[in-house]
Structure 1
Amino acid sequence: MSKTIAITGASGFAGRHAVAELLPRGHRLRALLRSPQTAALPPGVETVRGDLADDAALARLVAGADAVIHLAGALTALDRSGYFRVNEHGTRALADAALEAGVPRFVHISSLAAREPQLSGYAASKRAGEEVVRHRMAALNAILIRPPAVYGPGDRGTLPLIKELTRPVAAIPGPAGARFSLIHGRDLARLIVRAVEGNEQGLHEVSDGQEGGYGWPDLIRTASAFRGGPVRAIFLPRAVPAAVATVAEGLARLTGKPGMVNRGKIAELYHVDWVARPGGLALADPTPFAAGFAETVTWYRAAGWLPQGRGTDTRTASSRTSQ
């Protein structure tokens, strides 16, 4: 059944995947965008100019909508309040607008980082945004989705890690014993479609279904197989990226432009358990990391984001062989 869906964050990596999954199913999309003319969304997506601090724009966004997908959020900020301004206060404004308009479904995309709010301003603000929705769960018919690290063609967030894994020696900013879940951007979008079209409520941690998540040896084996040669991992002592983060934060304050490297992000990277807990939404045929890694590296190289090198994409994203 076709729905009118209001969406935030449509121009981001996960948002573009969600749009690509929703449009072919006949849904009508209305996207909140700061700069609609530069978003380059597919034809047929209605746009509303504004942001999460613009109450009038939020009212236009949700008017007559059958569902809201909230993907927008602050990944970087100059200080703790900057994260909360978007991830908590912006979520509250959107949720209240949806309630006022009588929207019957609210899909909130959070982050696995929200499980550990003590680690960073980002993590704490994502947890606070979840609490906003939790307190309105029944009224919004809401579902909370916590994805782990999301990767895939077009993603700049995981590009530094993928780049390291294509080298003979990979410098890893994290503990050797860490375990973590992953999910391909296309699979996250498929779960978002399921959430929009379904009626599940509550909190769901999601992943590609790899039981127990991955360890660095798993990723190194995948990268080595793709290269056709060994990849050796060097695990950086936390003090090294922490020092870089301190300098980066100082530069960010001087320029007024926050970056991804900060002490909070380092605390997240050196946390040892980012494995999604079982029992959340799941796909019957998720993309395994071996196939997703090959597809992503091949795309990065074709786009000029990575230099050409060893390794050929001999598997497709629809390959269901696990590594």
Structure 2
Amino acid sequence: MSKKPLAVTGATGFVGGRLLELAHELGRPLTCLTRRPQPEKAGVKWVQGDLHDKAALAQLCEGADAVIHIAGVINAPDREGFEKGNVEGTKNLLDAAKAQDVSRFVHVSSLAAREPSLSLYGASKARSETAVKTAGIDHVIVRPPAVYGPGDRETLELFKMAQRGLVMLPPKGRMSVVHADDLVRLLLTLADGHGRSGLLIEVDDNHAGAWTHEGFAKALGRAVGCKTMTLSMPKPVVRFGATLDRMFRGDKAKLTPDRAAYFCHPDWSVDPDKRPDPDLFTPAIATPDGLRDTARWYREKGWL
């Protein structure tokens, strides 16, 4: 394992935060981009700036062994917002990585990129993948499904619903999930040069046949120790809820019309043929165990 630092974006987010912890345990130095000043952390050099600050990106990539690009825009008011955050930002980072002769670019995309016509978010992630593929740099693209684990605020709402005994779900369908620590282990493995250049990986918990929405809701109920009922919401109801959320919470809305279209798609399971080869990576955390540990963490922190 190289002792040159890894350049990381999105280090102040949920997945990035887990990467900082696991890299520290492995003794892997990091150089991380941040928009705001951060407290000192052992093994981490902070570079203040963003994906449109070319001087900061040059400093981020200087001397780096590889780039792990986690940062991205999940919610935006329009196409331009997604384009700026997910496409232009990725292109800027690719330019900096090439200029600094970084050996590998690990790009964290999304399963949403598989269905670009469904949402502005998915379309922007698909375009970011194209930018990586055509940049002329050694690269691997990882498409995570829903990511959960201690510290995640996105799936927290599902745990709260399960604790109340009723989980409201999109229309019936299938989904894949992965624990953040498993995703991070894969990213670090790829950043160390394992896996051939040009790989497109869809990673999950290797649950056979993926999870049905109802099956996942029941697993949440077991994790919080409650008997849980499920309610599948028709598409028009989900879309109407998104309209109301945007109306009342504006840019802070969780369920935007764009996300509603994404949620209502019936199949967000990974393609088994795109799972990583077992010799490269195998998930270590079974989802029932991971959900239980996450629920325990939420309770210890007073979130649940």
**TM-score over 0.5 for the pair:** yes
Q: Which residue of 2 aligns with 1:269?
A: 263
2:254 aligned residue (255, 260, 264): 260
What TM-score comes out, normalization by structure 1 length? 0.87
Secondary structure at 1:106 match in 2:
strand
Taking the aligned partners of 2:179 and 2:210, their CA distance within structure 1 comes to: 14
What is the correspondence of 1:1-323 to structure 2 with a 5 Å cutoff? Answer: 1=1, 2-37=3-38, 40=39, 42-136=41-135, 139-172=136-169, 174-176=170-172, 178-197=173-192, 198-201=194-197, 202-251=199-248, 257-278=251-272, 279-281=274-276, 283-306=281-304
Query: 1:29-55 deviations in whole A, cap 9, x for unaligned?
Result: 100100023xx5732310111000111
One-letter identity of the residue aligned with 2:165: P
Does the Cα contact within 8 Å between 1:77 and 1:259 map onto a contact in 2? Answer: no
Please state whether the residue corresponding to 2:121 is helix, strand or coil. helix
Report the counterpart of residue 312 of structure 1 in structure 2: none
Q: Give the Cα separation in 2 of the matches to 1:125 and 1:158.
A: 23
Query: Number of matched residues?
Result: 297
| Native 8 Å contact 2:10 2:72 kept in 1 | yes
Higher mean Cα deviation, 107-116 or 284-293?
Answer: 284-293
Q: Give distance in 1, aligned partners of 2:245 and 2:52.
A: 27
* Residue matched to 1:319: none
TM-score, structure 2 normalization? 0.92
Query: Given residue 300 of structure 1, which amino acid in structure 2 is its aligned partner?
Result: Y
What per-residue deviation string (whole Å, max 9, x for no partner) do you get for residues 248-271 of structure 1?
Answer: 334565xxx343321110111110
8 A contact 1:170–1:233 mirrored in 2: yes
**CA deviation digits over 1:166-188, x for unaligned, max 9?**
2322222x112x10110001110
CA distance 1:276–1:288, shift in 2 (3 Å):
same
User: How far is the alpha carbon of 1:17 from its aligned partner?
Assistant: 1.1
Structure 1 alignment gaps of length 5 or more: 307-323
**What is the RMSD of the two structures over their aligned residues, measured on CA atoms?**
1.7
Three-state SS of the structure 2 residue aligned to 1:211 is: coil
Q: Distance in 2 between matches of 1:298 and 1:64?
A: 40
Does structure 1 conserve the Cα–Cα contact (< 8 Å) formed by 2:162 and 2:224?
no
CA deviations 1:118-137 (Å, max 9, x no partner) are 1111111111111100112x
Mapped partners of 2:65, 2:206: distance in 1: 30
Worse-matched range after superposition: 241-250 or 126-135: 241-250
